Amino acid sequence: MKVDIFILSFNRPDCLEKLVSSLFKQKDHTLSVNAIQCFQDGPRKLHLGDDTRKIKNCIQIIQTSGAPVTLHISEKNLGPNGNCQRVWQAISQSSADAVLFFEDDLELSPLYFSAMETLLSYAETCPHIGMVSAHGMLPATLDKQRARKTGLIPMAYLWGVHHWGWGAIHTTAEMMAPIVLEYFKYCKKVGYAGDMNGLDIYVPKVNGWMHQLGFYQDWPMIGYDASYDLAGFLLNKIHINTYACYAKSTGTDGVSFSEESFREYGYHKTVLMDAMPHSFEKLSNTQWLQLKTLVRGYHSSWLLRGLNTDHEYHGITRPEALKYYYETIMGWSLDEDDLASHHFHTLVKGIETIQPISADVLSRPHF
């Protein structure tokens, strides 16, 4: 399988160096890398000196990597959405069998490509699959990963599973590109953490567009992660991730995290899986239907209530969705560690307090 690789970079040379180094230490796979492109954002005006120095280091890391990487350097600061827009413009032109995307703060296990090759091959034969990833359930213990080594979990920002690194077969990327690029038209100038000026302009534009699509949106979903979830809804596909961890986040500082929040989410405890299973679990058509109904129902419930996490809301809460997926769809036993791994442990007083999802909630129209 021939793949094109796309890297998103800004001002974290230490992280980028770990990604690039791990990228060229992959084993036990037959993926053929067609091209590698790195999209380097420019310095912010308010942080010109510090950003310029760090960006210079990022450029040097790419140029001295020894690999034929095409480097796209922006002289001005585009912000995360603006820089990611450039990535998707390039993805839309890719003719490879599949694409692989990496944010700069992901360090790969030597088995990451092996896992992704298996997932991409699965996606080629399964119309239900959108994006695939193998960074896994980052806070999960090694024992838990081994017990669920063939398991898959939904990859969605609202589930507490991020899109730091992902892949997609050519046809899926081709279908997603126009949706994601349309999304960026409304919010491509959103800045990094601390530079979020203009939200009062971008949010109404994004919301207005989502209303036209049938979403009753009442929360400012302006990050590019949200565009991936949206594309999944519109294409009736599920983005999936391995439960086992074949990569780890190094982003202790960035758009979404500080050192404190990074540790709070347990990402500092990530242990990489030490072996690859022969294959990952393939869901039955019944399981896929259950999962699609659950994901759409949960996300639409969340969108409709916005930031209100009141458990009396007559929809699907995060813990309820997680319990249904783990126990009803996958046949796993949900425990307190699972709630913590998905960052839901603060939303409930205990496993026993999570209510089952009623049939009428699952069957109601979502949009």
pLDDT in tens, 244-270: 999 999 988 766 677 887 887 788 889
Q: Taking residues 107-112, report their average pLDDT.
A: 97
Q: Of the ranges 35-39, 113-117, 244-248, 333-337, which one carries the lowest mean pLDDT score?
A: 333-337
Q: Taking residues 149-160, report their average pLDDT.
A: 80
pLDDT at 152 exceeding the cut of 50? yes
Predicted local confidence at residue 187, as pLDDT = 82
* Domains of the chain as residue ranges with CATH: 2-282 (3.90.550.10), 287-367 (no CATH)
Q: How confident is the model at residue 9 (pLDDT cuts 50, 70, 90)?
A: very high
| Burial annotation 140-154 (CB, 10 A radius, 16+ → b, else e) | beeebbeebbebbbb
Mean pLDDT, the chain, as a whole number? 86
**Which carries the bigger pLDDT value, residue 38 or residue 236?**
38
- 366 phi and psi angles, rounded to 5 deg: -95, -25
pLDDT at 301 exceeding the cut of 90? no
Q: Can you list the alpha helix ranges (DSSP code H) found in 131-257? A: 142-147, 170-187, 199-212, 224-235
Q: How confident is the model at residue 307 (pLDDT cuts 50, 70, 90)?
A: very low
Q: What is the pLDDT of residues 208-256, one digit of tens each?
A: 887 787 665 555 567 788 889 888 888 999 999 999 999 999 988 766 6
Alpha carbon distance 147, 138 (integer Å): 15
**Which carries the bigger pLDDT value, residue 342 or residue 76?**
76
What burial class does residue 236 get, using C-beta atoms within 10 Å of its C-beta: 0-12 exposed, 13-18 middle, 19+ buried? exposed
Alpha carbon distance 121, 30 (integer Å): 12
* Cross-strand partners of 168: 99
Contact 209, 98 (CB under 8 A): no
Predicted local confidence at residue 130, as pLDDT = 96
